[in-house]
Each structure stands twice: as structure tokens, then as C-alpha cells.
Amino acid sequence: ALVHEYTHGNISLYHFDMYRVSGFDELYSTGFFDYLEQDGVLYIEWSENIEGALPAGAITLTLERVDDDTRQLTIEGERF
């Protein structure tokens, strides 16, 4: 499944894995655009595969490996 729904808390979370999505036809088939209309948070792995479809104001988190023991988190986008 490309999307998993977690709706048992105060805020719904929709987890998308876009690793294998390579175009808008495949993106439409996931129901992605319908989820943009929902009241919740979309967590999208491999968002670079759908960069042109991300809404304005999207917040991007990038986790990079610095070395075996260290990771660096970069947050970009509008903050709320």
C-alpha cells in the first residue's frame, strides 16, 4: 500500500510512500489529491518524486547521515 491512515488520535496522519511513484498518473491513483482536502497531516517519504505536486507552504524534513553515530535534520518551509 502506498498510504497508511492513522486516525485514532486528535489529528489524523496519512503516511505516503512515494518511492515507486514516477508520474502524475500514478499519483492520482493513490488518492493523494483527495488527502490534501482532509483535515490532517500528510507524511510523505520520497517526496522528491512528487515535488511538483506538493502544496505551497509544505514543510520538508530531510534526515541525513553525517557518520555512523550522527544524523542531521534540516527543516525547510513555512513554519506555523
Classify residue 55 as left (phi > 0), alpha (psi -120 to 50) or beta. beta
Task: List the grid coordinates of 64.
Answer: 541525513
The answer to whether 60 and 78 have CB atoms below 8 angstroms apart is: no
Supply the CATH number for residue 43's domain: 3.40.50.300
The confidence score (pLDDT) of residue 80 equals 55
Structural domain range at position 64? 3-76
The confidence score (pLDDT) of residue 64 equals 95
Task: pLDDT tens for the chain, 80 residues: list them.
Answer: 689 999 988 999 999 999 988 888 888 888 899 999 988 999 999 998 998 899 888 999 999 999 999 999 999 987 65
> How many structural domains is the chain composed of?
1
The confidence score (pLDDT) of residue 33 equals 92
Give one DSSP letter per residue of the chain, joined into a string.
--EEEE-SSSSEEEEEE-TT--SHHHHHHTTHHHHTTSSEEEEEETGGGGGGGSPTT--EEEEEEEETTEEEEEEES---
Task: List the grid coordinates of 23.
Answer: 508520474
